[in-house]
């Protein structure tokens, strides 16, 4: 794919790497590509970061025909930059596109666009430990039309954001509320995609949980509200009596790339791990019997996030005395070590830029 490059004449001041936060700053450039029926995906370009002009009738605004991805570029100690399993994100974006009737994008072209954009803004990849460059590819419907049908035109855009550790306080246990009123994804719905609409409809539960002193919610299945699915922006793992369990990908759970890597890592280490249905009753029993050993979430943003408390109805289960579990810490150290190049990568997950 030919990508034209127009460099900015007004580079922005660089943010202080000690206070990057998450998703606060955006780099100097962005990638854009257009779609229409006559030309398919065309006019790939890297241009100065700027607002996007949209017709007020653009269908993404009215009918949420939008999908996105989240991945990171990591600076290694020798100054080089790498990506982590980027083709997995390209494949997942296309699977979201397919579900949302958005035209598929050639996956090699997506990867090329990510790599070329990161190369143009390479100096924005931060150097401080635990910082990275968050990459946000997204695709949205642009046809000006009021009426529900798949849009005839789209844009594919990639923006970049230098980020610090997801939790400012570092790796520390979080409190999660098991949501028993709202649900995230229904059978046959869009739960397995990164559709923007999934996140809009999850906000109410998150706000209610925060008002109760929890940081995020753990979703239960939408049919019986009995089986655990995932957390707001993370997949979830439970270590019960020596076995690590994560909910199976039954169509309503996002197939996380950190989840996949964690399962592969555990198998490599010989730790018993299963992907299966797991009911909240089994978790409650394990908590009451002292068998609920560790709970942690996995996702690109936080990598691994220990869970210290699970709140369910009027009960609270404190996990591992609100301390980071041994296995949780080991997975965090291994994944981040591979990502930042301080540990060997026996799986071939790291792709140099
Ligand atoms: C709903 C949801 N589940 C799980 C994840 C974790 O996926 P990944 O490990 O690919 O970042 C994310 C983040 O992308 C998410 O938004």
Tell me: the pLDDT tens digits for 308-348?
Answer: 999 999 999 999 999 999 999 999 999 999 999 999 999 99
pLDDT band, very low/low/confident/very high, at 113 (cuts 50, 70, 90): very high
Q: What is the pLDDT of residue 101?
A: 98
Q: What is the pLDDT of residue 165?
A: 83
Q: What is the pLDDT of residue 167?
A: 73
CA nearest 332: which of 275, 271, 269, 258?
258
Check whether 88 has a pLDDT greater than 90: yes
d(CA 313, CA 270): 35
User: DSSP labels for 12-74?
Assistant: PPPPPGGG--SS----SEEEEEEEETTTEEEEEEEEE--PPP--TTBHHHHH--EEE--EEEE
Query: Across residues 170-188, what is the average pLDDT?
Result: 93
- Say how many Å lie between the CA of residue 124 and the centre of ligand 1: 24
Check whether 164 has a pLDDT greater than 70: yes
Check whether 273 has a pLDDT greater than 80: yes
Mind listing the domains of the chain with CATH numbers?
A: 4-163 (3.30.470.10), 174-345 (3.20.10.10)
Q: What is the pLDDT of residue 168?
A: 67
d(CA 41, CA 110): 11
- Say how many Å lie between the CA of residue 184 and the centre of ligand 1: 13
Give the mutation target among 234, 304, 331 for probing the ligand 1 site: most ligand atoms within 8 A of CB: 234
Work out the mean pLDDT of the chain and round it to a whole number. Answer: 96
Q: What are phi and psi of 205, to 5 degrees?
A: -65, -40
CB 98 within 8 A of CB 4: no
**Could you tell me whether strands 71-75 and 81-84 are parallel, antiparallel, or unpaired per DSSP bridges?**
antiparallel
- Say how many Å lie between the CA of residue 5 and the centre of ligand 1: 31
Whole-model pTM: value is 0.97
Check whether 166 has a pLDDT greater than 90: no
Q: What is the pLDDT of residue 244?
A: 98
């Amino acid at each position: 794919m030919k990508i034209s490059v127009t460099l900015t004449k007004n580079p922005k001041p660089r943010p202080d790497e000690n206070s990057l936060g998450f998703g606060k700053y955006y780099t100097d450039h962005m990638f854009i590509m257009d779609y229409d029926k006559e030309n398919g995906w065309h006019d790939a370009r890297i241009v100065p970061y700027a607002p996007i002009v949209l017709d007020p009738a653009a269908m993404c605004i009215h009918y949420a025909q939008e999908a996105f991805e989240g991945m990171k570029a990591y600076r290694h100690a020798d100054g080089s930059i790498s990506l982590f399993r980027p083709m997995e994100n390209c494949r997942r974006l296309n699977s979201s596109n397919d579900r949302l009737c958005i035209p598929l994008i050639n996956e090699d072209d997506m990867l090329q666009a990510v790599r070329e954009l990161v190369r143009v803004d390479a100096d924005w990849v931060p150097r401080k430990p635990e910082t990275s460059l968050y990459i946000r590819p997204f695709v949205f419907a642009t046809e000006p039309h009021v009426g529900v049908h798949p849009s005839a035109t789209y844009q594919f855009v990639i923006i970049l954001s230098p980020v610090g550790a997801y939790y400012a306080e570092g790796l520390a246990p979080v409190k999660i509320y098991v949501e028993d009123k709202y649900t995230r994804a229904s059978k046959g719905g869009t739960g397995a995609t990164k559709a923007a609409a999934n996140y809009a409809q999850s906000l109410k539960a998150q706000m209610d949980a925060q008002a109760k002193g929890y940081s995020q919610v753990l979703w239960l299945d939408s049919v019986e509200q009995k089986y655990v699915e995932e957390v707001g922006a993370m997949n979830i793992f439970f270590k019960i009596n020596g076995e690590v369990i994560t909910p199976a990908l039954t169509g309503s759970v996002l197939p996380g790339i950190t989840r996949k890597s964690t399962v592969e890592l555990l198998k490599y280490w010989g730790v018993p791990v299963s992907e299966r249905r797991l009911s909240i009753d089994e978790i409650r029993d394990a908590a009451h019997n002292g068998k609920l050993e560790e709970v942690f979430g996995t996702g690109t943003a936080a990598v691994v996030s220990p869970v210290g408390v699970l709140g369910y109805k009027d009960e609270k289960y404190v996990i591992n005395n609100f301390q980071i579990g041994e296995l949780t810490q080991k997975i965090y150290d291994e994944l981040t070590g591979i990502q930042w190049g301080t540990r060997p990568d026996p799986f071939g997950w790291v792709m140099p830029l």
